[in-house]
Structure formats: structure tokens, C-alpha cells
């Protein structure tokens, strides 16, 4: 369908304003040594009902309408940004934990993931949860979301903080990132199940769930989505990598011979389409596709690595900033926000996560000071917390009030973790290690952008290691 000149101009203007706000405020935050992604969200917040909507409501509603062609295009760009973000995050899922640190990682995973998740489930009966339901919300889906929000940790944000401090490659950083990688994979599985449990009746008629008669909201529905999500991840790890290698190396693969970038994008979209057919949210397919691509190449492959870098470059220049800006654009802190509940939720979530990680670190053999620093670092929710909020809000599981709580929880915990670790004497975070990053005279780490830091949360994509974390 052809668009009119006025519609095209409106769309272009909205995208220009969003990109300028996201990159401009993101760069300001980066110069203040804060996560760039937080600045991109704040840029969107300035354009939303909280600031621009309060100062010039008519202009804000015209520039970013709730319905119509512009809203559809922005929504599509937002969804593509989410898929590309999850794809890039999946590429980074590779831990470098060493055997002597495995015990600590295992204890932190057991205590720092399970205890916060169960604590969230335990406290839910004392909260008027229905006041936070969205149009598709139900007890099961909201219960899982509430628990995930308590347990999630951000790999990119905490990696960026460690990069700035010059402590990437130390035992401390390997423990944090190693635990966070496994934790996020587990929580994304639970999130996919929660989204499946909240699917609208019409969505169950499409694909495999409709073919086998899965009824939304039933116990069979929950069992199906649990099995399907775990099955997709398991089969992808067993079959996906050799299949990707074989397809990429095939002489009849004209797409890859013409453009390795196009081949990776086709693979990404097919993985998302497969998940949609199975009744699983497409973001999980993008995440799994990233894991496959990131782990499929064991030897140096300039073409594959160049394609990955090219995708990240454009994704973090256009799609991902638009995604994070729209996250901020959807926040309405004037009309749909309960500050008292947020403060209580923030305090409870931080306390439970910190205490559980501290206990796990101590049982894992860490001294008290290191356990405290690990507890603070694992509290940063960052990008995964924001993805959680945006996905469940878009699925209708939560309303705008709880959406604001989850986004601000991710922002505040990331800022707190960064501020704490910036003030800890650097020697306390260092271990005996022979591959610590070098530091410049100004005190900042030098060299390439570290593994595990998408440029939207840390720095320019051109400085990234293409192989991932």
C-alpha cells in the first residue's frame, strides 16, 4: 500500500526526532560514565507524556499518535529493534568461567536466581496484583513476570561498568558475567512460558497450538508452552549449530555467497517465524538464533564475523535506539505511576537479590568484601529488565503503572551498581590474573570494546569484538 506524501513526512519526522533524542541523551549519559541505554530511554521519556506531553500535549499527540500509519511504522520498528537486540544478546552468550570459579558461580546461580524468584512468588499474595493486570493478564502469567523481575541481571550494563574500571578478565568479572549468562537464559525461558500462558484466544488458533487444540489458560496450555520453549532451546543447541554450519558452507547457498549479512538476517527471521508457528514469542527465537550463530563458528571466519559486526553496527545505530526510546516514550510518570509502591518494590527487590547473592558467594568461598561487591553487581537489571517490561506490557500482561515500575527498577539498579563499583578501591576487585585490560593515563580501560556489551549499552559498535562474549 502506497503512503501519501504527508504520511511519509510524518514518519520521517518522528524517526528523526526519536533518533536525535535517543543518541543525544545516550551520548550525554555515556560521557557521564553511565549506561548509554539509560540515556536512550530518558530521551524517549522526554518525548513522551511525562515531559513533552505535559508541556505541549497537542504537539506530542500529533508527533507520536496512538493510532494510524505513523504509529504502525513506529511499532514495527520497535518490534524489529527488540528482535535485533535479542539476536545480538544471544550472540554474546558465551561464558569464560574457569574451573576454580565454577563453585562460586554455581552457588550464586542457585541462591541468587532461585531465592529472588521464589521471594517474588511469596510476596505476591500480599499485593493487590489485579490492579497491575493488563488486558491479557492472569494470575499465572503475572506470577511468573513478578518473579522474573526480582531475579534478572543485566550482562551488558555490568560488563560496561567493569570495562570502564579496567577489571574485565579478572576472576570477579568472570564470576559475575558467567552467573548472569546462565541466569538470563533460564529467565528468558520462563518469560516465554509466561507469554504463552497469557496468549489471547485468537493467537492459539494459529500454528501448532491451534492444530493440536491447546486452550489458552488451561493447564495443558502451560505444559505445552513449557515443553515447547525448553524443546526449542535444547534442539537448537543440539541441531541448530551443525545445521547452520552446513547451510552456511553449502555451495548452493546463493544468499550467503551474495551477502553473509543477508544470510544471517534470513536465519534470524526464520527462527522467529518458527517460534511464532510453535506459539512461542518471536523474541525467544531471535535470542536462540543469536546463540546458534555466536557459537557456530569456532575458528576465525572473517566473513561471518564481518556480517555480525555489520548487523550490530546498523542495529545499534537505528533499530535498537528507536526501541529503547519508544520504551521511554511509553512511560507516563504523571498519570500512571505509584511512587510509594515503586520505592517499596525497589527496596524489596534489591534487598532480596543482594542478600541471596551475598549468601551464595560466601558459600562459594568468597570473602565478605568480594561477596558484597558481587551482590551489588548482580543487582543491575539493565537491558534484560527493560526487555522484560516492554515485552510483557506489549503482550497485555501488565498495565502502564507496573510497566513504569519495571522500567525504573532496571534504570535505578543499573545506576546504583555503577555508582557503587566506581567507588570501590580497584585493588579489591582485582585478582591475580595475567590478562587484565591495560589502562590509559586517564584511568580508563583501553583496547577494543569488551565482549558482551552491545553498543547500545556501552559504546560504538565499531569497537566491538565480533565474536561475542
Mean pLDDT of 458-464: 38
- pLDDT category, 365, cuts 50, 70, 90? confident
| Structural domains of the chain, with CATH | 82-463 (1.20.1530)
Cell numbers found for residue 406: 519495571
Strands (E), 137-230: none
Of all helices (H) and strands (E), which one includes residue 296? helix 282-296
User: Looking at the chain, how many residues does it have?
Assistant: 469
C-alpha–C-alpha distance, residues 55 and 47, integer Å: 10
CB count within 10 Å of CB 65 equals 15
pLDDT at 447 over 60: no
Phi-psi region of 95 (alpha: psi -120 to 50; beta: other; left: phi over 0): beta
Q: What percent of the chain has pLDDT over 90?
A: 33
The residues facing 439 across adjacent strands are 445
On the question of pLDDT at 153 being above 50, the answer is yes
Task: Give the bridge partners for 398, in sequence order.
Answer: 133
Q: What angle do CA 200, 203, 207 make, to 5 degrees?
A: 150
- Tell me: pLDDT of 196 over 80: no
More confident residue, 112 or 97: 112
- The residue whose grid cell reads 520504551 is 327
Q: Which residues contact 461 (CB under 8 A, 6 or more apart)?
A: 309, 312, 313, 315, 316, 317, 454, 455
Question: Which carries the bigger pLDDT value, residue 453 or residue 181?
Answer: 181
pLDDT of residue 168: 63
Helix, strand, coil tally for the chain in percent (to 5): 75, 0, 25
Residue 189: closest CA among 283, 83, 320:
283
The pLDDT value given to residue 164? 63
**Interior/surface letters 382-414, b for 16+ CB within 10 angstroms, e for the rest:** bbbbbbbbbbbbbbbbbbbbbbbbbbbbbbbbb
Per-residue pLDDT tens over the stretch 243-284: 998 998 888 889 988 999 999 999 999 999 999 898 888 888
Q: How far apart are CA 72 and CA 331, in angstroms?
A: 18
In this structure, the number of other CB atoms found within 10 A of the CB of residue 425 comes to 8
d(CA 337, CA 47): 17
DSSP string, 426-468: HHHH--S-S-PPPB-TTS-B-SSPPTT--GGGSS-GGGS-TT-
Q: What is the pTM of this model?
A: 0.80
Q: Cα dihedral sign for 176, 388, 237, 313?
A: negative
pLDDT, one tens digit per residue, over 409-444 is 999 998 888 788 777 776 666 553 444 444 433 444
Amino acid at each position: 500500500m502506497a503512503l501519501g506524501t504527508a504520511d511519509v513526512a510524518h514518519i520521517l519526522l518522528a524517526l528523526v526526532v526519536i533518533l536525535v533524542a535517543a543518541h543525544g541523551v545516550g551520548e550525554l549519559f555515556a560521557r557521564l560514565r553511565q549506561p548509554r541505554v539509560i540515556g536512550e530511554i530518558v530521551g524517549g521519556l522526554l518525548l513522551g507524556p511525562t515531559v513533552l506531553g505535559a508541556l505541549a500535549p497537542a504537539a506530542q499527540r500529533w508527533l507520536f499518535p496512538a493510532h494510524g500509519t505513523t504509529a504502525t511504522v513506529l511499532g514495527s520498528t520497535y518490534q524489529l529493534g527488540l528482535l535485533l537486540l535479542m539476536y545480538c544478546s544471544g550472540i554474546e552468550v558465551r561464558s569464560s568461567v574457569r574451573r576454580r570459579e565454577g563453585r562460586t558461580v554455581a552457588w550464586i546461580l542457585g541462591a541468587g536466581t532461585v531465592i529472588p524468584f521464589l521471594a517474588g512468588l511469596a510476596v505476591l499474595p500480599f499485593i493487590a496484583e489485579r490492579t497491575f493486570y493488563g488486558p491479557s493478564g492472569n494470575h499465572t502469567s503475572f506470577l511468573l513476570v513478578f518473579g522474573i523481575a526480582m531475579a534478572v541481571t543485566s550482562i551488558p550494563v555490568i560488563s560496561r561498568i567493569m570495562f570502564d574500571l579496567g577489571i574485565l578478565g579478572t576472576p570477579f568479572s568472570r564470576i559475575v558475567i558467567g552467573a548472569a549468562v546462565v541466569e538470563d537464559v533460564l529467565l528468558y525461558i520462563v518469560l516465554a512460558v509466561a507469554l504463552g500462558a497469557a496468549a489471547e484466544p485468537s493467537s492459539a488458533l494459529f500454528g501448532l497450538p491451534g492444530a493440536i487444540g491447546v486452550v489458552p489458560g488451561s493447564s495443558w496450555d502451560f505444559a505445552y508452552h513449557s515443553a515447547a520453549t525448553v524443546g526449542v532451546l535444547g534442539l537448537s543447541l543440539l541441531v541448530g549449530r551443525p545445521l547452520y554450519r552446513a547451510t552456511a558452507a553449502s555451495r548452493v547457498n546463493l544468499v550467503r555467497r551474495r551477502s553473509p549479512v543477508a544470510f544471517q538476517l534470513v536465519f534470524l527471521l526464520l527462527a522467529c517465524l518458527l517460534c511464532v508457528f510453535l506459539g512461542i514469542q518471536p523474541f525467544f527465537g531471535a535470542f536462540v538464533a543469536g546463540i546458534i550463530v555466536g557459537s557456530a563458528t569456532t575458528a576465525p571466519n572473517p566473513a561471518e564475523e564481518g556480517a555480525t559486526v555489520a548487523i550490530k553496527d546498523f542495529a545499534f545505530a537505528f533499530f535498537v535506539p528507536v526501541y529503547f526510546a519508544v520504551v521511554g516514550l511509553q512511560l507516563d510518570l504523571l498519570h500512571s505511576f505509584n511512587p510509594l509502591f515503586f520505592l517499596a518494590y525497589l527496596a524489596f527487590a534489591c534487598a532480596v537479590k543482594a542478600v541471596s547473592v551475598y549468601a551464595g558467594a560466601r558459600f562459594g568461598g568468597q570473602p565478605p568484601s568480594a561477596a558484597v561487591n558481587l551482590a551489588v553487581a548482580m543487582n543491575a537489571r539493565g537491558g534484560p529488565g527493560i526487555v522484560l517490561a516492554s515485552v510483557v506490557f506489549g503482550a497485555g500482561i501488565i498495565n502502564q503503572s507496573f510497566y513504569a515500575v519495571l522500567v525504573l527498577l532496571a534504570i535505578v539498579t543499573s545506576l546504583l551498581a555503577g555508582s557503587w563499583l566506581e567507588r570501590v578501591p580497584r585493588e579489591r576487585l582485582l585478582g591475580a590474573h595475567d590478562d587484565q585490560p591495560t589502562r590509559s593515563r586517564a584511568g580508563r580501560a583501553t583496547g577494543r570494546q569488551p565482549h558482551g556489551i552491545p553498543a547500545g549499552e556501552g559504546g560504538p559498535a565499531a569497537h566491538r569484538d565480533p565474536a561475542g562474549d
